[in-house]
Structure 1
Amino acid sequence: MNYIRKLRQKIAHTFEASGEYQRAGHILDVMLVCLIMVNVVAIVLESVSSIAKQYHEEFFLLEIVSITIFSIEYIIRLWTCVDRVKYAAIEGSNTKRRLHYIFSPLALIDLIAILPSLLMFFFMLDLRFLRVLRLLRVFKLTRYSRAMQLLLQAFIDEGSTLLAAFFIMAVVLILASCGIYLLEHDIQPDKFGSIPAAMWWAMATLTTVGYGDVVPITPIGKLFGGVITLVSMGMVAVPTGLLASSFSEQVRKRRQVFENAVHEQITNGTLSEEHLSHLEDLRYKLGLSKLEANKAIKVQLNERSEHMFCRNCGKRP
């Protein structure tokens, strides 16, 4: 049992690219990212009938190899998740910890990446639809991209606020559809004959796309359309501003976490090799660049030196 537990811990550290397994973890990440990109390119090319017929066997072999690797990765991550700090802190059995992991965003993305192919192998379903679903594997890059993880966390943190903003947009969409229907349905019954039909114009106007295939032609309709356009410019900016602000806040928090870690690791105004190795692991997990990390270390060392030595005489107080 101890051997199995140690093996599980080693594999967990490798997947997390931490400690002495950092290099092995980096290599594994690069290999999986390359496999994902190859899959995306293959799925796109497979949609071309001539290419799909000519290289049918190659595409099928690639799919078999890919689904096998992704399935093994998912199973191993599920098995080793109990040794991660985030899930080890959960009280209860390992089964409970694994259930928490299964419903985490990144685990769900991993499951979505393999589920369409598994369904294709075991059930007779529309292959064209399943092939398109396989493109969802591109979301697996979220696990290996720190920027994508920041964006995902921004969505999670601002979830309730974004829902409120989209609810308001839905209300405005309905009001705009009803208004343009009342003003234009007599003049253009083919385009504004019903409120659902008018929603196409309202959606294109509210998103500031304005395709121009459906437009009001009466003076009052044009005035109403102009008002909706002005309102939409502010409405669309709300979710964008929220995400931009949350993304910036996530970056600031990660920098602050690293600075606090540097402050705690400094001993007698210096950092040992062990401390630097620990900070390098933390830098990678937080997705900070080496330039940002070195700047934070330099700032913290300078601040500690100012407290350790007298500014006037240069001696320890």
Structure 2
Amino acid sequence: MKQYIKSIVEINNNRKSRCFAFFIQALILISIVTFSVETIPNLEPKTKLILRAIEWFSVVVFTIEYFLRIYVADNKRKFIFSFFGVIDLLAILPFYLSFGVDLRSLRTLRFLRLFRILKLVRYNRALNHFTRAIKSAKEEILLFIFITLILIYFSAVGIYYFESEAQPEHFASIFDSLWWAIITLTTVGYGDVYPITVGGKVFTFFILMIGLGIVAIPTGIISSALTKSVDPHDEEEV
């Protein structure tokens, strides 16, 4: 019985497994849609009742799925604390926590229902490739994040010394300058804070050039990792 359930619950190349995966994916999407519809003001009582019924049904199915996956897991503890195990738990936990909880905190619990959309990762082959790519390139990504943080701090210090006297309301301290450094290095540039001194403008030019490179680097890292992560066997199946 355990092997039979496992052949259905886990992703396999059989009809029942594919039907089960399709059903769960459809239910996740329906759940996300109902979550969005619930935010519409002045809903009819009948509509609220229908949405509530869909939520109950979804939670019951997701709960059964969660415990079935624990049941068929070879290493139950490893599954419970794995990425997908945590996501599956977070998908149902807000519903059960809402019982007996102060109504003022329900909005926060409802927000956690968005974790259900991450359950779709399990059923998407392309997203699985992306997950493997991130794991394989994690050292390069961590190094990139570390260097980016250093550059952000360096930029904040530089613009502080150039602009603090001219614009004390925007660059009163290095901490205030961090906002400018972030939006400039990411090339977003909202325009609410910008340099007015000659030195600040020249400094900003170089920071913008560095920012263009910062945007391109992670794209190259992840693209290379994605290319390496594609299993030739998977490509043949496609």
TM-score for both structures, normalised by structure 1: 0.71
Cα offsets for 1:289-312 (capped at 9, x unmatched): xxx438xxxxxxxxxxxxxxxxxx
Task: Give the deviation of 1:51 after TM superposition.
Answer: 3.1
Counterpart of 1:57 in structure 2 is: 49
Counterpart of 2:225 in structure 1 is: 246
- Amino acid of the residue matched to residue 243 of structure 1? I
Task: Give the deviation of 1:117 after TM superposition.
Answer: 2.0
Q: Secondary structure at the match of 1:126?
A: helix
Q: Rate the CA distance shift 1:212–1:119 in 2: closer, same or farther, 3 A.
A: same
Task: Give the deviation of 1:118 after TM superposition.
Answer: 2.2
Task: Give the deviation of 1:116 after TM superposition.
Answer: 2.1
d(CA) in 1 for partners of 2:52, 2:187: 43
Asked if 2 retains the 8 angstrom alpha-carbon contact of 1:17 and 1:24, the reply is no
2:37 pairs with 1:39:
no
Task: Give the deviation of 1:59 after TM superposition.
Answer: 2.1
Cα offsets for 1:165-215 (capped at 9, x unmatched): 101100111111111111111111221122222111111111111111111
Extract unaligned runs of 5+ from structure 1. 1-6, 83-96, 259-285, 295-317
d(CA) in 2 for partners of 1:56, 1:195: 50
- Amino acid of the residue matched to residue 9 of structure 1? Q
Identical-residue share of aligned pairs (%): 35
State the structure with more CA Rg.
Answer: 1
Show the 5 A alignment for 1:135-214.
Answer: 135-214=114-193
Cα offsets for 1:115-135 (capped at 9, x unmatched): 222222353361222222211
Task: Give the deviation of 1:216 after TM superposition.
Answer: 0.6
Counterpart of 2:83 in structure 1 is: 105
- Amino acid of the residue matched to residue 77 of structure 1? R
Further displaced range: 27-36 or 97-106: 97-106
Counterpart of 1:15 in structure 2 is: 9
Counterpart of 2:106 in structure 1 is: 127
Task: Give the deviation of 1:17 after TM superposition.
Answer: 4.3
2:133 pairs with 1:118:
no
- Amino acid of the residue matched to residue 250 of structure 1? S
Q: Secondary structure at the match of 2:60?
A: helix
User: Please, what is the CA RMSD of the aligned residues?
Assistant: 1.8
Show the 5 A alignment for 1:227-306.
Answer: 227-251=206-230, 254-255=231-232, 258=233, 286=234, 288=235, 292-293=236-237
- Amino acid of the residue matched to residue 123 of structure 2? Y
Asked if 1 retains the 8 angstrom alpha-carbon contact of 2:157 and 2:177, the reply is yes
Counterpart of 2:16 in structure 1 is: 24
d(CA) in 2 for partners of 1:121, 1:65: 16
TM-score for both structures, normalised by structure 2: 0.93
2:70 pairs with 1:78:
yes
Extract unaligned runs of 5+ from structure 2. none
d(CA) in 2 for partners of 1:18, 1:54: 40
Task: Give the deviation of 1:236 after TM superposition.
Answer: 2.4
Aligned residues: 237
Cα offsets for 1:16-67 (capped at 9, x unmatched): 3436xx1011111111111000111111121222238663222222221111
Task: Give the deviation of 1:160 after TM superposition.
Answer: 2.2
d(CA) in 1 for partners of 2:88, 2:76: 14
2:47 pairs with 1:69:
no
2:194 pairs with 1:215:
yes
d(CA) in 2 for partners of 1:165, 1:62: 44
